[in-house]
Amino acid sequence: MYLAAEKELCHLGESCGCTDHDHDLIHELSRRLDSLWRYDQYIANAEWREELKQFWQDAKAQEKQAIQRLKELVIQEVRNECF
């Protein structure tokens, strides 16, 4: 006999559109794009606090690099017909 919660979860994962590692790439890309979207507001919120402002500018630059690398990896996976 299933509990209600077990019944709700018993079929999760039966269907998947791609391998776990490709899903991970897309999920991480989405997460980082969301973060990048916020950095300009964080920078603006820092206003006259130069050290904080510089931190957010540095974080934004690092995020852009990570996003570019993730995009390259997704392209590579598509070219390798892994998707």
Neighbours of 42 (CB within 10 A): 16
Instruction: Give the helix ranges, DSSP H, for 1-83.
Output: 4-9, 20-46, 50-79
Show the low-confidence residues of the chain (pLDDT under 70).
Answer: 1-6
pLDDT at position 75: 96
**Cα–Cα–Cα angle for 57, 62, 68, rounded to 5 degrees:** 125
Residue 29, C-beta contacts closer than 8 angstroms, at least 6 positions apart: 67, 70, 71, 74
pLDDT at position 2: 56
pLDDT at position 83: 76
pLDDT at position 13: 73
Please give the Cα distance from 80 to 83 (Å, whole number): 8
